[in-house]
Amino acid sequence: MADLQGTIVTWLGHATVHIATAKGTSILIDPFIEQNPKFPKNYKLPAKIDLILATHGHGDHIADLLEVAKKHDSTVVGMVELIGWAQSKGVKNAIGMNLGGSWKHDDVTVSMVEARHSSGISDGNQTVYGGEPIGFVVTIQNGPVLYHAGDTCAFLDMQLIRDLYHPQLAMLPIGDHYTMGPKGAVIAAKYLGVKSVLPIHYGTFPVLTGTPEELSQLLDGSGIEVKAISPGESLR
């Protein structure tokens, strides 16, 4: 298991993850809460959410972005087109980025990396272009390097993420159908060179059939640990 050095990573169902650094920076990734059938009952978001990271514009990743950002006065970080949409909806604090870029907030450096997916934003009766889908590398000062893949298939250039950022823990979608399944996640984990995988984006809806058990079986003997936790549980 990667040493999280005081950082706490809490899975909130689907692709929603909360990260609390040892210094106290609070980060929420892909807020999908009210309509998320796997969001843990009785869980309350922290009063302080410094950053919201949005990997792409699909509703099961940003459905609650606007409400949470306004309520918690959070800074939203994402692809420039998605951020432009969020600002048009009243989000005041936002950082638009693009692939390969990094931005520093206190003890956290956020780097934007490639993902292979799509990113249309459903806005009323229209679909708005949300820019390219992305993943995030979160590098914590005096702490771990974490990678949230967003929605993606496995791709060879994940090796560049390994070489550039050296992540220790990868949050990888395994549900299949809309993203890679366990077989793809095995290749992704090996390309990334990570010590541990937190499976995400599975079991939320019937079509997402990939399981942590299958991932564990396929990774057996690889030295990569699968940290399968229930929504609301944390890695420390």
The pLDDT value recorded for residue 129 is 97
- Residues 13-35 have a mean pLDDT of 98
List all residues 6 or more positions away from 6 whose beta carbon is below 8 Å from its beta carbon. Answer: 21, 22, 143
For residue 2, name the pLDDT band (cuts at 50, 70, 90): confident
User: CA nearest 200: which of 76, 66, 16?
Assistant: 16
Please write the tens of the pLDDT for every residue from 171-218. Answer: 999 999 999 999 999 999 999 999 999 999 999 999 999 999 999 999
Enumerate residues 6+ apart whose C-beta is below 8 A from 217: none
- pLDDT > 90: percent of the chain: 99
Mean pLDDT over 37-65 rounds to 98
Mean pLDDT of the 58-62 span: 98
pLDDT at 94: 98
Domain boundaries, the chain: 8-235
Give the CA distances from residue 70 to residues 32, 64, 73, 191, 232, in Å, rounded to whole numbers and listed in that order.
15, 10, 5, 38, 23
196/219 Cα distance (integer angstroms): 11
Supply φ then ψ for residue 234, to 5 degrees.
-130, 150
Q: Is the pLDDT of residue 1 over 80?
A: no
Per-residue pLDDT tens over the stretch 72-114: 999 999 999 999 999 999 999 999 999 999 999 999 999 999 9
3-state secondary structure the chain: CCCCCCCEEEECCCCCEEEECCCCCEEEECCCCCCCCCCCCCCCCCCCCCEEECCCCCHHHHCCHHHHHHHHCCEEEEEHHHHHHHHHCCCCCEEEECCCCEEEECCEEEEEEECCCCCEEEECCEEEECCCCEEEEEEECCCCEEEECCCCCCCCCHHHHHHHHCCCEEEEECCCCCCCCHHHHHHHHHHHCCCEEEEECCCCCCCCCCCHHHHHHHHCCCCCEECCCCCCCEEC
Question: Cβ of 28: how many Cβ atoms within 10 Å?
Answer: 27
- Candidate CATH numbers 3.60.15.10, 3.40.50.11610, 3.40.50.1170, 3.30.70.990; the one for domain 8-235: 3.60.15.10
| Among 102, 107, 104, CA closest to 21 | 107
pTM of the prediction? 0.98
On whether the CB atoms of residues 173 and 185 are closer than 8 A, the answer is: yes
